[in-house]
């Protein structure tokens, strides 16, 4: 039976938390691989103000079967 592959996006506030999350997801078999992409800058509205912040983007590679548990974990 073929496995449906998914790529999920998740942002983290810094490299340390991104590394911890990526390691946990792979160790718990919720992700086959996680790519950490530093240098992301996000602009968003928060409490009626436009804010900007540096973030790290995670590209989480998982299966459709593992996705519900991954979503719950994140």
Pull the structure tokens for residue 1: 């039976």
The pLDDT of residue 2 is above 80: no
Domain assignment of residue 2, yes or no: no
Closest CA to 10 of 43, 35, 46: 35
Is the residue at 22 inside a domain?
yes
Q: What is the pLDDT of residues 9-33, one digit of tens each?
A: 999 999 999 999 999 999 999 999 9
CATH number at residue 64: 3.30.70.120
Beta-carbon neighbour count of residue 43 at 10 Å? Answer: 8
Parent domain of 29: 7-73
pLDDT tens-digit series, residues 28-45: 999 999 999 999 999 999
């Amino acid at each position: 039976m073929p496995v449906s592959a998914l790529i999920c996006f998740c942002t983290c506030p810094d490299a340390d938390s991104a590394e911890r999350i990526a390691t946990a997801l792979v160790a718990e078999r919720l992700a086959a691989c996680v790519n950490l992409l530093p240098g992301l800058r996000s602009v968003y509205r928060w409490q009626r103000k436009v804010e900007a912040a540096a973030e790290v983007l995670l590209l989480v590679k998982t299966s459709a079967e593992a996705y519900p548990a991954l979503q719950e974990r994140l």
